[in-house]
Structure 1
């Protein structure tokens, strides 16, 4: 991996120092350490880093909103660090534009792998941005593309980058956008899921219908007789 110029956003000095040592051990250069959102934006504009790594716990404004704010001023791949993994946190980070989340503490191999993933996803976002009118639309399309990639990775046993290339090829052949190609894949998966549910439940549904036809509820005949006998007799017409 080539040397990257990295901005760290972390208000705890010891944590920032430990992260700096790990990054430099991977051959990267930490060009600055910001302590809050305002400092992060200023540093991103002044230092022009190739990657930003921010802790989720920052004073006043958290790391996820910091990522959103930095991206509004300077498009750059961002990794969010968190002390725990939660689906809601990952969702918020993705919607804000972060390329990856990483649970601390991390070892060097994990850090290297996630940096690679963040750079790859950012390159994909750059492709999507060329088709979008603004960053908001690009991030919405990216969320759809991520869903489609997961479908292709699971169905075709592809890597993440291979799944993205497959979507690109499909959109080029169809003469459409990546977003529309991703939507087609996601919709097809939803239809397959619905059909598989029907197929899976069909035997039990047929068995239930068969039982209902062959075995009417117990005492159903007696109940019908009782209901008929309880009816008041109809009056005969007077002559």
Structure 2
């Protein structure tokens, strides 16, 4: 997937090389100031920085717009692995090819770009960058609710495209990490509930102290190579019949 700039290449190196080569180097950051995991992998070689190409899907109902966008992306060194002329096709191609990012126009037949982005985001397939000729508040809110974190208003400058792609990827990766943290917390809470209940059962059945009941669950978990939650739930089920 999309990887961050190597830790060995610090910001001062990037800045000095960018100045020497007139190359724009963008390293998106999170609130904590760390380089964003969604940023492109950078290789520092002498006075040159090469960015690992992205695999990109593009969708627009106008072939001439797709052609222009493809040429722009390829000139930037990236690879367009799929094209779509409507939202439904964009979802299908993105599911199949699993790109690093999908660039979708909002106004498309069959399914508009926002609805397509919602499907792609909900399924966790890829980050989405929306292209739109409009910047109304309601469209921005719809896009945000669909899980889209970056968009460009057409016509846009070529220099604005890569930063927008980087923002889309960076925020998507941040969103996935937040979802993972929530899931981990929920799992920990459910595990604790199950273990506490199983401890109570063992304490009642065998007259064990709480720490001994916990230790029994822990040992069985290690011996069977099953999680403590699985052992606890097995104890609960065995004593509910």
Does residue 108 in structure 1 map to residue 158 in structure 2? yes
Does residue 35 in structure 1 map to residue 85 in structure 2? yes
Does residue 61 in structure 1 map to residue 111 in structure 2? yes
**Deviation of the 1:76 alpha carbon:** 1.0
User: Which of 51, 62, 71 lines up with 1:21 in the alignment?
Assistant: 71
Checking the alignment, whether the CA contact within 8 Å between 1:45 and 1:74 is kept in structure 2 is no
**Deviation of the 1:92 alpha carbon:** 0.9
Q: Distance in 2 between matches of 1:27 and 1:13?
A: 21
**Deviation of the 1:104 alpha carbon:** 0.9
**Deviation of the 1:30 alpha carbon:** 0.4
For the aligned residues, what is the CA RMSD? 1.7
**Deviation of the 1:50 alpha carbon:** 0.7
Does residue 132 in structure 1 map to residue 182 in structure 2? yes
**Deviation of the 1:46 alpha carbon:** 1.6
Checking the alignment, whether the CA contact within 8 Å between 2:98 and 2:125 is kept in structure 1 is no
Deviation track 1:186-224 (CA, whole Å, cap 9, x = no partner) reads xxxxxxxxxxxxxxxxxxxxxxxxxxxxxxxxxxxxxxx
Checking the alignment, whether the CA contact within 8 Å between 2:56 and 2:101 is kept in structure 1 is yes
For the residue of structure 1 that corresponds to 2:165, the secondary structure is helix
The alignment of Structure 1 onto Structure 2 pairs a total of residues equal to 134
**Deviation of the 1:67 alpha carbon:** 0.4
**Deviation of the 1:23 alpha carbon:** 0.9
Q: Distance in 2 between matches of 1:53 and 1:72?
A: 16
User: Which of 65, 70, 73 lines up with 2:120 in the alignment?
Assistant: 70
Aligned twin of 2:100:
50
Checking the alignment, whether the CA contact within 8 Å between 2:55 and 2:101 is kept in structure 1 is yes
Aligned twin of 1:121:
171
User: Which of 54, 58, 62 lines up with 1:12 in the alignment?
Assistant: 62
Does residue 96 in structure 1 map to residue 135 in structure 2? no
For the residue of structure 2 that corresponds to 1:130, the secondary structure is helix
For the residue of structure 1 that corresponds to 2:181, the secondary structure is coil
Checking the alignment, whether the CA contact within 8 Å between 1:10 and 1:35 is kept in structure 2 is yes
Q: Distance in 2 between matches of 1:132 and 1:88?
A: 28
Q: Distance in 1 between matches of 2:52 and 2:149?
A: 19
For the residue of structure 2 that corresponds to 1:116, the secondary structure is helix
**Deviation of the 1:82 alpha carbon:** 0.4
Q: Which has the higher contact order (CA 8 A, sep 6+)?
A: 2
Unaligned runs of 5+ in 1: 134-239
Does residue 79 in structure 1 map to residue 159 in structure 2? no
For the residue of structure 2 that corresponds to 1:31, the secondary structure is strand
Bigger Cα displacement from structure 2, 68-77 vs 3-12: 68-77
Checking the alignment, whether the CA contact within 8 Å between 1:56 and 1:64 is kept in structure 2 is yes
